[in-house]
A and B are shown apart, each in its own frame.
Chain A
Amino acid sequence: MAGASGTTSAATGATGSRRYPIRDQIAIVGVSSTAFSRDAGGRSPASLACEASIQAIHDAGMTKADIDGVVGVAEPGAPRANQMAALLELPNVTHHAGPQPVAMFGMIDAMTAIFSGQCDTVLVYYAFMRAPWNSRSAAQDPFRRYVMMGGGTAKPPMPESMDPSAAYTAWASRYIHEFGASREDFGRIALNMRANAMQNPKAVMRTPLTMEAYLQARMIRDPLCMLDMDVPVDGADAFVLTTTERAKRITKNPIVIHAATAGVVGRNDEDQLPSLARHGQHVVVESLRARGELWLDDVDVFFPYDGFSIITLGWIENVGYCKPGGAGRFMQEHWDEKTGRVLINGRVPMNPHGGSLSEGASRGTGHLREAVTQLRGDAGPRQVANARTALIGCGGFFFNSQGAILRRL
């Protein structure tokens, strides 16, 4: 294994050099998921969000009176935060907000609200529903007709619209052009996620996947095929956040947010991005390294977002596990034949829950939930031994790049 000596020089040198008083001050004390499915049996996003939220509040050992902040990420069809306060009849809410997807926007809003004193304990929830535009079965459901992309007013796109989902394919073409990447390089992302999902009862895609099957999968937007794109699901995840100080009093194993960030470049219109060498992921990595004191040598479990396989290739390279264009080779060098997945330096798995490609499209909340589960030591048969630190690279290249370092105290 060529990389056994460790990682590139980027592995060390996180500095915590920037003013960052919130470091380690906010903890995740409750977590829950409905599990994801291709069809939740006629349940609304509100119903799923309620189930996950109530379970997360119970998981934190709390009641409705403890929750004084509500953050509901504005996924299509999901209830707004004030509606969630009504659904649960929360009596003491002094902060509510609805940041845009993806996952970390909700976390960062909750963190800053708690740290600033707008509230003390926040319910953050995410609800996903298969939509008429991304699921054939959902298109048959008359109760889903109201769910419109982008909030309901936008015109239907034209074939040449460079919306984010198409743009990832377009930049994948550039990646192949610049680095001579093979389809197998992309395929290894899909295989890794599937092998991991097979160990996760909450995942929707749990049948074995071979490279041969990947290479034969239906092309959707050439050069990306169906297995390069995440799986639409019905489901919800919820989290309860509070101060680390309080978390230490109420739980034996608080998981703290060491650092969290979003990042965009100035030119983030999808087709105007400066290059594969300069986009949101680079800003996120620089920010995490300046705000956190932990980096790759400390990481026990790695969560690169995988809404599209090209995003994952980007995260592997941009956090510094290997050089630009080297992710395919890196995965080969760190491939664990026995389990059919990546184990970095024989130790660090990549999305042990199966990621968005195989657990289901959660826009990063699955990654966040699994990070908490692993750090608590609650991951059962897929538990990473003595996992203390998790690195999450959330979102993609354009408007939603985010990252976080979570750790067990």
Chain B
Amino acid sequence: MAEAVSDAALVERFPWVQISHDNKHLFRGWLDRQLLIQRCRDCKRFHHPPKPICPACWSGRLEPTAVSGRGVVHLAMFLRQGAPAPGVDYEKAPHPVVTVELEEQPGLRFTSTVVETPLDEIEIGLPVELVWIDRYGAPFPAFRPPGRAAKGGR
């Protein structure tokens, strides 16, 4: 569906991120609630953040590829101050930011926030899955422990 979104419209949907020739597929994927990570058609390696070539084999034959979004928290911090975003109130609660190592490839990581989870449960080693939240009226990829939604959240 988002294939139909023009470059200009894409930039307008995400006025708060720097969209470029090299990362536009990532944000087109967000509009479809798909996490598309660049994968090399030749050596099959994923890489992130998006680059114009495969940094491993230098092939230019890249394919934005949907990943499961499942992974394990590799880095975790809790911001007491930071950039503004809707739904983020640093005075009320620290904002968790995690880097998740995705199950598709060792060392392939994606950084976002964690939702629906008490802060004291967010730690390195925690298995998580992808969940789409809203930010400025567009889908935004976040993480939560598997099955969390069923139990209700914060």
A208 within 8 A of B: no
Q: Which of B84-108 contact A (CB under 8 A)?
A: 84-85, 88, 94-95, 97, 99, 107-108
The count of chain A contact residues (Cβ–Cβ below 8 Å) is 30
- Please report the C-alpha to C-alpha distance between residue A169 and residue B79 in the assembled complex, in whole angstroms: 10
Q: Give B48's nearest chain A residue, CB to CB.
A: A272
- B interface: dominant SS: loop
C-alpha spacing A173/B18, complex, angstroms: 27
Given A160-B113, A162-B111, A166-B97: A177 in contact with B124 (beta carbons within 8 A): yes
Chain A neighbourhood of B55, CB < 8 A: 266-267
Residues of A within 8 A of B97 (CB): 159-160, 162, 166, 170
Q: Does B78 contact A (CB under 8 A)?
A: yes
A159 touches B113 (CB 8 A): yes
CB of A156 within 8 A of chain B? yes
- Identify which of B77, B111, B123 gathers the most chain A CB atoms within 10 Å of its CB: B77
Contacting residues, chain B, for A158 (C-beta < 8 A): 16-17, 83, 85
Within 8 A of A (CB), among B29-50: 48-49
In contact, A166 and B77 (Cβ under 8 angstroms): yes
Most chain B C-beta atoms within 10 Å of own C-beta, residue among A156, A157, A160, A219: A160
In B50-87, the 8 Å CB interface with A consists of: 55, 74-85
Query: How many of B's residues come within 8 Å of A, CB to CB?
Result: 34
Decide if A39 is an interface residue (CB 8 Å cutoff).
no
Task: Kindly state whether residue A252 has any CB partner on chain B within 8 Å.
Answer: no
Contact A154/B107 with A159-B83, A159-B95, A222-B94 known, Cβ cut-off 8 Å: no
Q: Which residue of A lies closest to B95 (CB)?
A: A159
Is B125 in contact with chain A by the CB < 8 A criterion?
A: yes
Pair B16/A162 contact, Cβ less than 8 Å: no
Q: Which residues of B contact A219 (CB under 8 A)?
A: 78, 80, 94
List 14 A–B pairs whose Cβ atoms lie within 8 Å, in order of A's numbering. A156-B83, A159-B84, A160-B113, A166-B97, A170-B75, A171-B75, A174-B75, A220-B81, A221-B78, A221-B81, A222-B77, A224-B77, A271-B75, A274-B107
A interface residues (Cβ-Cβ under 8 A, vs B): 154-162, 166, 169-174, 177, 218-224, 266-267, 269, 271-272, 274
Q: Which residues of B contact A (CB under 8 A)?
A: 15-18, 48-49, 55, 74-85, 88, 94-95, 97, 99, 107-113, 123-125
Given A221-B79, A221-B80, A272-B49, 13 additional A-B pairs, CB 8 A: A155-B17, A159-B82, A159-B84, A169-B77, A170-B75, A170-B76, A170-B77, A170-B111, A173-B76, A221-B77, A221-B78, A222-B78, A271-B111
Q: 8 tightest A-B contacts by CB?
A: A170-B75, A222-B78, A177-B124, A271-B99, A169-B77, A159-B82, A157-B83, A162-B111
